Structure 1
Amino acid sequence: MRTHLYRKGLLLSLIATVGFVQRESGHVLPARKAENGGLFLPDGFEATVVVDSLPGRARHLAVNDNGDIYVKARFARDKDESVIALRDTNGDGRADVIKQFGGLARERAYGTAMRIHDGYLYFSSELYVYRYKLTPGELVPSSPMEIVLTDDHKHGMHEHIAKPITFDQQGNLYVPFGAASNACQEVNRIPGMRGIDPCPMLKDHGGIWRFPANKTGLTQKDGVRYATGLRSVVGLDWNPADNSLYALQHGRDDLLMLWADRFSPWQSAVLPAEELFKVKSGMNGGWPYCYYDQLQGKKLLNPEYGGNGKNVGRCGQYEKPLIGFAAHLAPNDLLFYQGVTATNGFPDHYKNGAFIAFHGSTNRAPYPQAGYFIGFVPAKNNGLSSGWEVFADGFAGIDPIVNVSDAVYRPMGLTMGPDGSLYIAETEKGKIWKVTYKGNRQAFGAEQLARMEARKQQSNIRDPDEIADNLDRGKPIAGGKIYGIYCSACHQRNGMGDSQRFPPLAGSEWVLGDKAKLIGVLLKGLEGPIEVKGQSYNNVMPAHNFLSDTDLAEVLTHIRTNFGNTGDGVTAAEVSTVRTSLLSLNKPADTRVNRSKRK
């Protein structure tokens, strides 16, 4: 097989052969042909590209019995068009009809679920669950849109409030309500700040709620809390084989940034685990008091509650996961595969097992980013085994992945077609693949899986070596020490952000505009929604007023003079002036008056 250097244009066009580059060492991986849409798959599987890109890109998806595809857009602005409907009219496997509809433009239309259930098309944003009644033959439903569930809480920031959904065999609806915090700090993401105990967020967040079947106009009070202690669930599905709910919890972030005296950069890159749970009624996953250390196989106290990376404390009472995946892989969809029949679908190895879409990390610096693949957990005794496999890889198109913006594709949504095929959607371009099995189903086994087992040695899948994989080894930390610790996890080492939650610094009007305003952002913090370079973001920027005037001046000078930016520097005196002004504004008015009278 030929090898050559990676050319982004060749990959995007899918006209020529695609290569993958090992950036730091110059090692060139085996080239991959454009067949299979550039993906690595187990022997006997084939992938076809249904669509190369979509307006609004793509997150989750569902396929109807007639093969029509419905996609929840990643972005939808100005119009009620957050659902994308696709149809193949000539049987060539590619969508040739694309229509948009649905959702509410007045709310942030960030897609978090798409399912077809009992004749209805369900989809969700961060604040709503919607549905349409489907009529056979119609691509775009003519029925009115119904609002099934409204998140009526007051959200200061839209963080961890995705609304993935699933249904049990009685039709009851399950919806998580995530918690916008690492570990229930009084002020989020402040170094050294302890967590509130008991955590008040657990009253109506940090868990999964069950709602009655086939109802509309619901709010959280109409449901019952089914499980708690789950910070952020994005992947959720019901397993009909054991009639149980399964969920993927995103582990907390920022161990290095918040607790640099207790955790090394390597520990912060690989810990804590992303957790796969079999969720029973009344289960408690332990958040915010505990996290799961997959290397030790233990639930440990979070540092916000006195933990030091070793002590268990109260955490022995909480539910352990079936599997603890390495940190920050971002498992964002879960699909129990039901497509095995006597004559169709995937080999028996996949029956009742679970596919997982790992969207990929943003905050593993100074180590390579990880994830960006489809995993598979085989079934065992009607449940799931404790082992997992790589099913599809090659989405990122580069190795190692230094910045999240380097990844060409990031897998996100999973669904099964009526013929037992697996559909995969990704978020960066809105590309969709259809994966089918063309080999001998009876002969499929360890030999066919061996090549995928070797993929676990890719830097986006294995745990990094603490020394050899440190991208800053032997060189200054990218962006300066302060930027590397406090900024790169969100805005990335190249200042490009992650195109989704965290805005770019490169070319940003916020960075290159008024310096006093920029200084104020770091001193006060910032909550969305905001617009940067024409794109909307809605997250939280914590206050960095714990840094000295000199440190803030250094990091602000760095971002204004790097990443292609050509602004002038910021001085400690300028920071001091803004800090003094903010302190004065925050003091009680009578204190300011009294002081003026004493002068």
Structure 2
Amino acid sequence: LDPCTELETRGGVWRFDANKTNQSFSPAGRFATGIRNAEGFAIDATGRVFVTQHGRDQLHTNWPELYKPEQEATLPAEVLLLLKQNGDYGWPECYYDAFLQKLVLAPEYAGDGGKTIGVCANKVGPVAVFPAHWAPNAMVLYDKTQFPERYQGGVFIAFHGSWNRAPYAQGGYNVVFQPLDGDHASGQCEIFADGFAGAVKSPAKAAHRPSGLAVGGDGSLYVSDDIRGRIYRIVYRGSPDAAAPNVAACPSAAAPAGDIVEQPAQPPEGTHPDAGKAATAALPIPEGATRERVELGERIYRGQVGGAACTGCHGDSGQGTPLGPALTGKNWLWSDGSYAGIKKTIIEGVSQPKKYRSPMPAMGGAQLTPDQVSALAAYVWSLGHRGSSSRN
């Protein structure tokens, strides 16, 4: 959609006064916009705010006519942003192409695989870029003195690790150091700590995955792991004036995907490739749909097709969450629960929820085809009519 209604309530950073109470969330408090999944935050002594951004996924899966299979693994870059008041960093119209070294127009907005820049020429670019899909989950500015002076003023970033670089080698699962000089990068990032994943870097086989960072009062660096709940403490033993060690530079964000080493990714992360198949086979089918359409709708619901995962707000089985209502009961907030009514709600979205705090953008914020909308509606209808007679 243009303008994107998502940007009214998300996709940005809002500013609040820590010394005031009873503040309200409103567009007036938005500090910066156009940011997709700002996970890591760091604020330096001058008040500059840096954030890491997770880049988008599945460009080849959704637009095979525009992107080669290997570009699924290499586009777009993960980025480090320096926030400016009223800055617009491009999402959802743009993404950063490290090979072209610029923001380019996204396919939903008439992008053509990187050739067209369009409105992206007026967006704010990144401070530093990293390989695609590494997942920068946390960041911390180093302002202590335990580590050598070269680390002071730079940022450590915990990369949770990729899932969708497959069938090429996965990346991340490490902690990197990005040197900064004021408001810009002063060199390529370096691998600071690695080996968390163990023998295999993949979501299913990784022994540990870095997910959080903190700097202790004594200058030690703490790294949390969300696989087995460990916390690592990294300390420096040596002279503060020691020469810079031989460190491994981060791979270039414009490096090729490499050799095929595993089976293609099964998105989204954490979803088994066969998840829901048995349950879907037992679901009823609305009049005018088919079993195949319900199965396609289930894949769209889970984000495997179309790029509009519904599970984040409605739950993996339609059971509902604090963000969105259950889809498994008889009470419908925005339609009569009919197949046609559900399709209408999906197409129009819900900008002002009645009971839940998260708006639903039209078509889940994706550009679904009419057939995909019908399939998704068929699956949602089936969830709400589970237990009724099935038309096979």
TM-score w.r.t. the length of structure 2 is: 0.71
**Sequence identity percentage:** 35
Distance in 2 separating the partners of 1:210 and 1:537? 23
- Which residue number in structure 1 is paired with residue 74 of structure 2? 270
Aligned to 1:441: 240
Residue of structure 1 equivalent to 2:278:
512
Matches within 5 A, 1:66-465: 196-221=1-26, 224-240=29-45, 242-308=46-112, 309-340=114-145, 345-381=146-182, 384-399=185-200, 401=201, 403-445=202-244, 448=245, 450-453=246-249, 456=250, 465=256
CA distance in 2, matches of 1:378, 1:538: 38
- Unaligned runs of 5+ residues in structure 1 are 1-195, 473-477, 479-483, 491-497, 540-577, 587-599
Of 248-257 and 209-218, deviating more is 209-218
- Asked if the contact 1:411/1:424 (under 8 Å) is kept, the reply is yes
For the 8 Å contact 2:9–2:27, the answer to whether it is kept is: no
Change (3 A) 1:243 1:415: same
User: Who wins on radius of gyration, i.e. which is larger?
Assistant: 1
SS at the partner of 1:413?
Answer: strand
Q: Is the 8 A contact 1:358 1:411 kept in 2?
A: yes
Return the offset for 1:215: 3.8
**Are the equivalent residues in 2 in contact too, given 1:352–1:382 (CA < 8 A)?**
no
Structure with greater strand share of residues: 1
TM, length-normalised to structure 1: 0.47
Aligned-pair CA distance for 1:283: 0.6
Taking the aligned partners of 1:328 and 1:218, their CA distance within structure 2 comes to 35
Deviation at 1:516, TM superposition (A): 3.7
Counterpart position of 2:267: 489
Q: Tell whether the 8 Å contact from 1:231 to 1:249 is kept in structure 2 after alignment.
A: yes
Q: Helix, strand or coil for the counterpart of 1:442? A: coil
Contact 1:211 1:223 in 2 (8 A): no
Contact 2:60/2:67 (<8 A) preserved: yes
What's the C-alpha RMSD, in Å, of the aligned pairs? 3.0
For residue 361 of structure 1, give the secondary structure of its aligned residue in structure 2: coil
Deviation sequence 1:452-484 (CA, Å, 0-9, x none): 34xx46xxx876644x51226xxxxx4xxxxx4
Please say if residues 207 and 228 of structure 1, whose CA atoms lie closer than 8 Å, have aligned partners that are also in contact. Answer: yes
After superposition, give the CA deviation of every residue in 1:365-413 in whole Å (9 maximum; x if it has no partner).
Answer: 21111111111112324754242111111111124x3x41111111011
| Cα deviation code 1:474-496 (max 9, x no counterpart) | xxxx4xxxxx4xx7132xxxxxx
Q: Does structure 1 conserve the Cα–Cα contact (< 8 Å) formed by 2:15 and 2:30?
A: yes
Contact 1:362/1:369 (8 A) holds in 2? yes
The answer to whether the 8 Å contact 1:505/1:511 transfers is no
1:247–1:582 CA distance, 2 compared to 1 (3 A): closer
The alignment partner of 1:220 has SS state of coil
How many angstroms does 1:438 deviate by? 0.5
Matched residues, number: 308
- Gaps (5+ residues) in structure 2? 284-290, 302-309, 325-373, 383-392
Post-superposition Cα deviations, 1:534-593, rounded to whole Å, max 9, x if no partner, equal xx9999xxxxxxxxxxxxxxxxxxxxxxxxxxxxxxxxxxxxxx97x949x89xxxxxxx
1:363/1:537 Cα in 2 relative to 1: closer, same or farther (>3 Å)?
farther
Q: Tell me by how many angstroms 1:305 deviates.
A: 1.1
Q: Deviations over 1:60-103 (max 9, x none)?
A: xxxxxxxxxxxxxxxxxxxxxxxxxxxxxxxxxxxxxxxxxxxx
Q: Does structure 1 conserve the Cα–Cα contact (< 8 Å) formed by 2:98 and 2:254?
A: no
Aligned amino acid, residue 63 of structure 2: W
Distance 2:51 2:78 in 1: 11
Question: Offset of 1:439 from its aligned partner?
Answer: 1.6
Change (3 A) 1:387 1:451: closer
